[in-house]
Amino acid sequence: MEQVNGDTLAAARKVIAVHINYPSRASQRGRTPAQPSYFLKPSSSLSLSGGTVERPAGCELLGYEGEIALVIGKAARRVSIEDAWSHVAAVTASNDLGVYDLRYADKGSNLRSKGGDGFTPVGPALIPADAVDPAKLRIRTWHNGHLVQDDTTEDLLFPFARLVADLSQLLTLEEGDIILTGTPAGASVATPGDVLEVEVSTVDLSSSDGGLTTGRLATTVEEGTTAFADFGARPMVDDVQREEAYGSREAAGLAPVDEAPGAGAAVGPALSPELKAKLESVATATLSSQLRKRGLNNVSIDGLQATRPDRKVVGLARTLRYVPNREDLFKTHGGGFNAQKKAIDSVNEGEILVMEARGEKGTGTVGDILALRAQVRGAAAIITDGGVRDFTAVAGLEMPTYFSNPHPAVLGRRHIPWDTDITIACGGATVQPGDIIVADSDGILVIPPAIAEELADDCIRQEKEETFIFEMVQQGNSVDGLYPMNTEWQARFAEWEAGKHND
């Protein structure tokens, strides 16, 4: 059989792809279209078998979809369904690759998410269309040698002839154009180093004539090294895209919706607007003294600096723990939708993500893209006792980040992101999910939620007393007996306070 070559790719002026066409995929997606819908892929996305595809730098979700590709043999314009198949020259294997990280930016066009160079490998062989029954073809996909897709064209939602006829109603299908006909269930996500293989064949390869096959279309995934420029859309994903890319929440490593931290409920007791306002009104120095009166002397997160030292931050803690890097464990826990990304992508409005990095300053624990994602989700702040990458960009965000130092290195140098929403240590303090974090220019405090209301009220009273004492010292009074106040000064304070209320 003829092999797909450079001439085949050069002849394709258009690459047209169908969204959903296999019942198994429709069931997985939870929607069955009444009519076919399409999108265009640039001809520059075409590539040959045996090549590589780049997962762009900063992207997480490179999705693969094994598909049967139709190669148009003669121009088709307003053809009937009965005549449509005669306009197809051959079928071959294809892999409809794309990055879910950019779907948000495409408004449904899929141009950036699925149009990258090398995102449409085809081949290796062409099966003549007149030698097969289009309803008796088989499509299979292997991911690192494991069969992950296996379906036939027997019960397609939209048979191939219907696709050709439908498209030809409005546009001319030209010789060499390629139509990708949809993918069955089982499509998922590939990471750098993975090998993807797709094969199209007649249903019965064991028939007397041996059947027909394209052979396996092989593509190896590589990690991109060139970052996206800041003048265009940058990669961004959430749990919805992860579920779409992997095919299910379970396959993506996500908790069921009713258990997921990002499902709407904050971790721990609610921080009421009234309590939050009280805590925002008092200084951490005052809170620290009141905590000390209650025997809590080890509740400050120490040794960090802030990107926004002028900000006052109050919120509930979410936690993330890093453990020291061990190369074999980093392979299983460091890539993909790891604990770091889970923590970032489940933080809720007003929550503060606190990271345990063991005070290790020799690598970054968060960079600009993940910090931006936390800000987009409404996080009040990020606190880490490790380093920060992309410092200038992180410092430019509205959301404050508290950190030990800038550092250019990535996680794998010193850390593995291990687990989330557990008790951790950060900057010398123990932090539990649901603890209340208060941070200002004086420092960062961890407040047990059970005492927060009483603590806030006592702090407000203390600050009123200190305002009175400050005024008395300004008037020339000695601090002896005034600071702290003895009985006489307490009485005078009561009169001063009553006067304030009457003003």
State the binding site for substrate: 367-370, 389
Asked if residues 31 and 25 have their Cβ atoms less than 8 Å apart, the reply is no
Q: Residue 190: name the closest of 138, 133, 149, 130 by CA.
A: 149
Residue ranges of the binding site:
367-370, 389-390
Give the whole-angstrom CA distance, residue 63 versus residue 114: 9
Q: What are the distances in angstroms from CA 47 to CA 4, 143, 390, 464?
A: 10, 18, 34, 72
Asked if residues 165 and 80 have their Cβ atoms less than 8 Å apart, the reply is yes
Amino acid at residue number 90: A
Asked if residues 485 and 469 have their Cβ atoms less than 8 Å apart, the reply is yes
Burial of 482 (0-12, 13-18, 19+ CB in 10 A): middle
CA 193 to mean position of chain CA atoms? 20
CB-CB neighbours of 330 under 10 Å: 17
Mark residue 144 as left, alpha or beta (left: phi above 0; alpha: psi -120 to 50; beta: remaining).
Answer: left
Residue ranges of the binding site for Mg(2+):
390
Q: What are the distances in angstroms from CA 490 to CA 202, 485, 487?
A: 94, 6, 5
Amino acid at residue number 164: V
Q: Residue 188: name the closest of 64, 61, 26 by CA.
A: 64
Give the whole-angstrom CA distance, residue 204 versus residue 133: 12
What DSSP element (H or E) covers 465? helix 452-474
